[in-house]
Every structure is written in C-alpha cells, then in structure tokens.
Chain A
Amino acid sequence: MKSNGYAGRILRVDLTDERIWTESLPREWIRDFIGGDGFAARVLYEEVGHDVDSLSPQNRLIVATGPVTGTLWPMSGRTVFVSKAAQTGIWGESHVGGFMGPELKYAGYDMLVVSGKAESPVVISILDDDADLLPADNLWGMTTAEVTAAIKKSRRDPDVQVAAVGPAGERLVRFASVIVNNARAAGRTGMGAVLGSKKVKAIAVRGHGAVEVARHDEFVQLATEAHMRVRSNPQAQQMHRWGTWILTAVKQSIGELPTYNHRTGVFDGWESLSGDHIRPRYTVSDRACFGCSLGCKKMNYVPDGPFAGTLEEGPEYEGLMAFGSSLGIADFATTLKANQICNRTGMDAISAGTTLSFAFEAFEQGLIDEKTTGGLRLQWGDGSAAVQLLEMIARREGLGDVLAEGTRRAAQRIGKGTEKLAIHVKGLEVSGQDGRTHRSIALSHATGARGADHLRSLVTVDQLGYREVAAKRWGADRLPEIIDPYTEKYKAAAVVETENTYCIRDTLIVCWYSVAWPPIFWIEDFARVLPLVTGIEQLGSVKELVRIAERQVTLKRLFNAREGIRREDDRLPDRFTKEPMPDGPGKGQLVNLDPMLDDYYRHRGWDVSTGLPTPETLRRLSLDWTARFA
C-alpha cells in the first residue's frame, strides 16, 4: 500500500520509565496541519502546559518531518526540532538541514516525541523498527564531532545519522544547539539544552524503508522540473558558488550589516567577510543537504595564522555577522574558528555571537571590567578575546557562566543598565537584520513566535526592490510604499502573506532558500505538489493552504499566550525604536512599530489591544479544541 508521503507512525520515547512505543498518525492532523511544524504544534500545545518548565522532564522534545521529507522534491532534507524553548520559555522550534529527517522517515516514523528524563546519559538509537535507549556515560563530555564519530564506529555503519548535543548542551547553556551531520545546527532557542536536561547525548537514526507518494510519475516529473528551476535560477547559481556570503555585500550596500552589537549597519571591514575574499582563500569543497540542487554549504580550511589548521563547514552569513561585523572582527579565519567552537560544543552561532557583542559593548561602556571578565580585555575587533570568551561560555566558566544564560538573563544578572545593550525579542537574540533599514523585518522580529526571528517571515521583495513580484502579490495600487523598506505602510500585509507561505514551507518541510532568497517557489507551487504527494485534493487549493497556515500561526500564538505573551511583549529593543541609524544608506531611520502591529493583528484576526486571537478567529480556524488545554 502506498504511504502517500507519510510513514503513518509516531515514535514515542519516555526516558523516565524507559518506555518506547509507537502511535499511529491521526489522519485529521494531515488535513489540518500537513506535517512538520504543524504536527509538532499540535502535540506541544496539548502536552506541554503553562506549568511545565522548559528544562523539566515534563517538557517534550519533538523531531518532526513533513510529507515531502525523503522524496525527490528539491531541498526536502529538513528536520524540525520543537520544544518549549530553553532560552525563552515560550514556543521553540529550530529547523536543520542535513540528512536526519529523511533517515527518520526511512526508518518508518513521521516524528519522534521524547519525554521524561533519563537517570544517566543515553543515546536514543533508532534502526528501522528497533528503537532503543543505549547507555552513553562514555560519550558524555564529548564534542558533537567526537560523539558522531563514536556512534558511527560502534554501530559499524557510516550512514547512521546522528543528532548530538555537545558540552554546552550538557551544561544547559540556554542557547545550546543540536548538531546533525557534524556542522548542520538546529541552532535557535536552545534545543540542545532541552536534550541535555533530559540527559540525551544523541539521537542516532538509520532507516532502510521507503517514502512513497500518491501519484509517483507525476510527482517525479514535477520534482524534476522544480530541480531545473533551482538550477537555472541565477541567484541560486550564485548561492551555490558563494554560499550565503553574498549577503555580506548586499547587506553592506543597503546599510544593514549588523555592526558593533547592532549599533550601526555598515562595517568598514566587510570585504574580508565577503564571498569574493573567502572562496579563493579558504574554500575546499561545496556541499549540499539531502536532495538539494543548490548546495550552499562550503567546507573551509584555514592555511595560516593563529587559527591555522581549522577545517570546518560554514559559517553562513549569520555566523559571519555574529562573529565578524557584530564584534568588529574583519577576519574570516576567526569567524570560522568561532563557528567551529559553536558546532563542536553545540551552541547557536547567532545567539552566542550576539551575547559576545553584548559583553563587548558592556565592557566598552565600563559596565563590566577585567575583574568580571577574568582578565580579558573585550575590545571590538579582538578575535582572540572573542574566541576565549566563547569557550568560557561553553564551559560555563566565570563570566561565561553568566553569558550562557543569554543576553536577557545575563543583563538582568549584571544589572547596571546593561539591559539596554541586550538586543533580543522575548529573550531570543536578534538575528542579522535591522528593522530600521527594513521595516518588514522589524515587524517579523517583533511578532515571531519564537522571538527575534528571521525565518518565519522575511520579506525580501521589498528590500531588494522586486517591483513586478510585489505588484503581482499585493496589487499594483500598493506600490511604491509596500516595497519601500523605510515606510511602515502595508508592511503587515506583506509580512502576513510571507509568514503564511513560510508556514506551509515548514509543514512540508523544505529549505528556506527555496522560497526566500532567491524566491524560486511560492505557495502556488506547494499547492501543486501537495495533492501529488498526499492524494488529498483539498491541499491543492491555495485558499485552503492559507487557512492551514493561519491555523498554525494562531496555534503557536495560543501556546505563547498561555505563557503570558501579550501585545506588550511584541516589542523591539530600544536600539531599533529609539536610536536612529547613525550612518550608512539608512542614516536617521527608526522603527515605528505600533501602526504595523495594529495592522498585523487585524490581518490575523487577533485582538488589537491584547494581541490575543479572538473567539471568532478560533472558530473560523477550527481551533476551538484548544480551550480544553487552556
């Protein structure tokens, strides 16, 4: 029998009782949520209530896949980790590339739900129908690279996919990540800390089964055409060559390259962080995630200098920003080393880098001194100090122990007015964008379910001035304001539409780059492929997909609302709303958030004064059932 894109089973692991069992995937979940994020939201909302602490055994860690995971659809190798976030205490999700999700599907599961807490370290080992908890005392303390190699060796199978936490996850660093395939990170919101709190060192998966779709031949034809679209797209070709490093130059040219802890948007040393500089000097090979024609991953090697001999995949633009311009460091080798430390110890590069730049700025302003830092002089551009402090965070040593809590908690702990240097939304550090020069991202950062988030909605159409695309999507009458990055007008409409599309992307699950930059696919393309995969004709309607997306966004909002998130929490750091951009092309720009928020809530059907979904919206989206768990 054909499985129509789904394995049809959920693997449950309870670590406290050492119990492992499977459940069948409810059919109505497919109709209501499609997969990925949506399934995970359904489970998390029901099972992780307000009273559950994110680092307690009651929290769940969900690894989910979507209907196209493991198929030939371009960039379908994504996996999502979902949990109540260690860093923010609200909705947490983190998507990762690599090969983990397809392997889980081939093993015969759509998702894995982990609950409880093991007495001593374990590895969750999945080999087709055999799932087991293996003792991992000997692996505890290892870096992610070491544990991955050790598991592959002990299983005598190089194709085992390992999702591992490093020493940072074990020590519950709030922004600890889960690393799959050595260097692909489920970075944001602290999934590594959740796994660490459950004493799970790694999840090892190997599957030999198949994923079948409803209409195989038509699907293969559409997927092949889709691959050709990726390959022939000029921006995708650029991305294959330069990776996301091309963004450095773009960002610099529009004045949005976060520099000195987001103080400004232009960086003098940007050229050393651009693709033209990096590729000929450092890059040794191009790599791709599962099923990806684009191949944006780069393996880099540092031949000389203080970090000579560093061989590591990455960093991406965000890593360049976090360890480069944001710290005033104009040296690729340093960012590669910092990225390697993040990968090996298991930490989120964005949060780690932003936390470092928080400390650097606090030092500059004299709010912390050498006594607090253990003798380190934190001066902009000092790569060796940055690397040392980063290692201290992973070990939770000295000041590193405070910074391991993330900028929000660290600022509360340090006091002295450092709060205004903590660049975060809802506790999650701001990624490599700036709302002042790009208003739609300001709104995305403020309203994102997991905090300052550039992946749930990032309108690139306005920033890069795609007039025709904008006219087609939102109507020519809204031009030019809707693509003017410096006005608030109509931005909510653009953000909502993009967020809905990205939502469907995250249910499938496919890679960010297939929809965002370059924008190769959009919601209409997903409507074409979904019926071929699932055999459900209803999913071929854009209207229905939009409804599913709205349902998902609203469900995540309900999860956060239960944790006390209201309109007043949808705010940006003062830096973006009170300190005008000091120089660069966006000089003098500021975010005026409130009008955009009003618009956004109206579009979503949420109450404008509280930011909570209205009863009518809940009825319209068939979310009445959530009342039982409120």
Chain B
Amino acid sequence: MPSQLSVDYTKCTGCRICELACSAKNEGKFQPALARLKIVKYDDLGVDIPNVCGPCEEAPCVDVCPVYAMVRDPVSKMTYVNQDKCILCKSCVGVCVNGVIVLDTVRMRILKCDHCGGDPECAKACPTGAIRYASVGRIGLMGRHGKVTAYLREIRRVVTGH
C-alpha cells in the first residue's frame, strides 16, 4: 500500500514548523507563503488544522486542468504537475478543496506537494506527530498503539501521583 500524508488535528499545535520545513527544503528559504501545505488556524476556538495534499479520491486538479499538465500516479493516486506543460491558468489553484496548490507570483509557477519524492519534510519536522507519512493501515495501528500507551501513562499518573 503506498504511503500517504495523514493528519491528526487534535495533535496539531499550530506551530507551522511544517510550513517552514517545506519551504526550507523546496525553496531554500523560509517562506510559508510558498509551502506546499497549510496550517489553518482558528485562534478563537483553539483549533489548528493541517491541510496537506492528497491523494484525494476525486482529483479536481486533474479533472480541471485544460492541458493535461496535472497527472495522476495510478498506484499512489498522488497528482503531480508537469511544469513544461503548465500554462499557468491557475484552474487547479482555484479548484483545490484543500487550498494547498499555490501560485508563486514572483517566479510565476504552480507549486504542488510531491511528498518530497517519498520522504516528506513536513512529517519529519512535525514535533507532535500530527502529520504522518505512512500507509494508511499502519497509521491506524500507530494511532491505536498511541492511545494505549497514553492510557497506561495516565493510569500510572493516577496510581503513583506523578
């Protein structure tokens, strides 16, 4: 099963280290505006939600692309932009439901997550494990394991008092 980026927003603290790490790796500078993922923050509610790129079941960015520059890997179902074909119509930017396809207005190109070629920087940089990169089955297992260890830790805290 191909690996995917998955998020657990209950663990996200909204620190935006992922955005920094993404732009540092892909652009060689710190520029969250050019990050291929986005933390959506709700300060009033105390909720932070990482928006990462696919794979979506339906891929509107592929469907909408008029020149077939957006292509989909049949196995991983990830989509990739072919910069040579792209005519910068920005249709994919507008249609992406996650808002993670970005237009670099300085160098005029479409920026889209490619999972850093199989070793995504955002997942490595995330301090709380809110963003993970693994096959979905494994992520479920790790989630359950995490819950059990947290539960055991809680019992120990209650029993021993610290």
Report B16-43 CB contacts with A as 1/0, cut-off 8 Å. 1100110110011111111000001101
A204-241: which have CB < 8 Å to B?
Answer: 207-213, 216, 220, 224, 227, 230-231
Most chain A beta carbons < 10 A, residue from B15, B24, B30, B48: B30
Say which residue of A99, A208, A220, A311 sits within 8 Å of B33 (CB atoms): A208
Instruction: Give the residues in chain B near A71, CB-CB below 8 Å.
Output: 20, 30
Report B78-115 CB contacts with A as 1/0, cut-off 8 Å. 00000000000000000000000000010000000000
B149 at the interface (CB under 8 A from A): no
A437 CB to nearest B CB, Å: 23
Say which residue of A106, A145, A297, A299 sits within 8 Å of B32 (CB atoms): A106
Number of residue pairs spanning A and B whose beta carbons lie under 8 angstroms apart: 91
Evaluate contact between B20 and A313: CB separation under 8 angstroms.
Answer: no
Chain A minimum-CB-distance residue to B161: A276
Report A268-295 CB contacts with B as 1/0, cut-off 8 Å. 0000000000000000111111111101
B140 CB to nearest A CB, Å: 22
Say which residue of A102, A224, A287 sits within 8 Å of B48 (CB atoms): A287
Given contacts A72-B20, A291-B17, contact A216 B48 (CB under 8 A): no
A182 at the interface (CB under 8 A from B): yes
B58 at the interface (CB under 8 A from A): no
Given contacts A216-B24, A287-B13, contact A149 B33 (CB under 8 A): no
CA distance A211 to B13 in the complex (A): 23
A340 CB to nearest B CB, Å: 12
Chain A minimum-CB-distance residue to B127: A293
User: Number of A residues contacting the other chain (C-beta, 8 Å)?
Assistant: 42
Chain B minimum-CB-distance residue to A280: B154
CA distance A212 to B34 in the complex (A): 13
Evaluate contact between A210 and B46: CB separation under 8 angstroms.
Answer: no
CA distance A210 to B20 in the complex (A): 10
Instruction: Give the residues in chain B near A159, CB-CB below 8 Å.
Output: 41
B61 CB to nearest A CB, Å: 22
Say which residue of B20, B24, B44, B128 sits within 8 Å of A182 (CB atoms): B44
Report A87-109 CB contacts with B as 1/0, cut-off 8 Å. 00000000000010010001000
A578 CB to nearest B CB, Å: 38
Instruction: Give the residues in chain B near A210, CB-CB below 8 Å.
Output: 23, 27, 29-31, 34
Evaluate contact between B16 and A290: CB separation under 8 angstroms.
Answer: yes
B125 at the interface (CB under 8 A from A): yes
B1 at the interface (CB under 8 A from A): no
Instruction: Give the residues in chain B near A70, CB-CB below 8 Å.
Output: 30
Given contacts A145-B44, A182-B43, contact A209 B15 (CB under 8 A): no
A158 at the interface (CB under 8 A from B): yes
Evaluate contact between B31 and A211: CB separation under 8 angstroms.
Answer: yes
Evaluate contact between B28 and A106: CB separation under 8 angstroms.
Answer: no
B50 at the interface (CB under 8 A from A): no
Evaluate contact between A293 and B21: CB separation under 8 angstroms.
Answer: no
CA distance A213 to B17 in the complex (A): 17
Instruction: Give the residues in chain A near B21, CB-CB below 8 Å.
Output: 72
Evaluate contact between A295 and B13: CB separation under 8 angstroms.
Answer: yes
A91 CB to nearest B CB, Å: 30
B45 at the interface (CB under 8 A from A): yes
Instruction: Give the residues in chain A near B27, CB-CB below 8 Å.
Output: 210
CA distance A210 to B47 in the complex (A): 26
Instruction: Give the residues in chain B near A379, CB-CB below 8 Å.
Output: none
Say which residue of B29, B41, B105, B125 sits within 8 Å of A212 (CB atoms): B29
B19 CB to nearest A CB, Å: 10
A183 at the interface (CB under 8 A from B): yes
- Chain B, interface size category, equals 20 to 34
Evaluate contact between A285 and B15: CB separation under 8 angstroms.
Answer: no
CA distance A202 to B131 in the complex (A): 34
CA distance A213 to B47 in the complex (A): 31
A181 at the interface (CB under 8 A from B): yes
CA distance A230 to B127 in the complex (A): 10
CA distance A208 to B111 in the complex (A): 14
Chain B minimum-CB-distance residue to A208: B33
Instruction: Give the residues in chain B near A311, CB-CB below 8 Å.
Output: 45-46
Evaluate contact between A216 and B29: CB separation under 8 angstroms.
Answer: yes
Evaluate contact between A292 and B15: CB separation under 8 angstroms.
Answer: yes
Instruction: Give the residues in chain A near B23, CB-CB below 8 Å.
Output: 210
Chain B minimum-CB-distance residue to A285: B46
Say which residue of B10, B16, B128 sits within 8 Å of A291 (CB atoms): B16
Evaluate contact between B20 and A291: CB separation under 8 angstroms.
Answer: yes
A83-135: which have CB < 8 Å to B?
Answer: 99, 102, 106
Evaluate contact between A289 and B20: CB separation under 8 angstroms.
Answer: no
A351-369: which have CB < 8 Å to B?
Answer: none
Evaluate contact between A227 and B127: CB separation under 8 angstroms.
Answer: yes
CA distance A53 to B32 in the complex (A): 40
Instruction: Give the residues in chain B near A211, CB-CB below 8 Å.
Output: 29-31
Say which residue of A99, A148, A213, A227 sits within 8 Å of B125 (CB atoms): A227
Instruction: Give the residues in chain A near B41, CB-CB below 8 Å.
Output: 158-159
Evaluate contact between A212 and B30: CB separation under 8 angstroms.
Answer: yes
Instruction: Give the residues in chain A near B32, CB-CB below 8 Å.
Output: 102, 106
Chain B minimum-CB-distance residue to A74: B17
B54 at the interface (CB under 8 A from A): no
Instruction: Give the residues in chain B near A158, CB-CB below 8 Å.
Output: 40-41
Evaluate contact between B46 and A284: CB separation under 8 angstroms.
Answer: yes
Most chain B beta carbons < 10 A, residue from A210, A216, A313: A210
B108-136: which have CB < 8 Å to A?
Answer: 125, 127-128
B28 CB to nearest A CB, Å: 6
Evaluate contact between A288 and B30: CB separation under 8 angstroms.
Answer: no
Evaluate contact between A227 and B17: CB separation under 8 angstroms.
Answer: yes
Chain B minimum-CB-distance residue to A184: B43
Q: Which residues does A use to contact B, with CB under 8 Å? A: 70-72, 99, 102, 106, 145, 148-149, 158-159, 181-183, 207-213, 216, 220, 224, 227, 230-231, 284-293, 295, 297, 299, 311, 313
Query: Can you list 22 pairs linking A and B with CB atoms under 8 Å apart?
Result: A70-B30, A72-B17, A72-B20, A72-B30, A145-B44, A181-B43, A207-B33, A210-B30, A211-B30, A212-B29, A212-B30, A227-B17, A227-B127, A285-B10, A287-B48, A288-B15, A291-B15, A291-B20, A295-B13, A297-B13, A299-B45, A299-B46
Going nearest first, the 6 A-B pairs with the smallest beta carbon separation are: A299-B46, A210-B31, A288-B13, A288-B15, A293-B127, A208-B33
- Since A212-B28, A230-B127, A291-B16 are in contact, a sample of 19 more A-B pairs with Cβ atoms closer than 8 Å, ordered by chain A residue number, is A70-B30, A71-B30, A72-B24, A72-B125, A106-B33, A158-B40, A158-B41, A182-B44, A208-B33, A209-B33, A211-B31, A213-B30, A220-B24, A285-B47, A286-B128, A292-B17, A293-B127, A299-B45, A311-B45
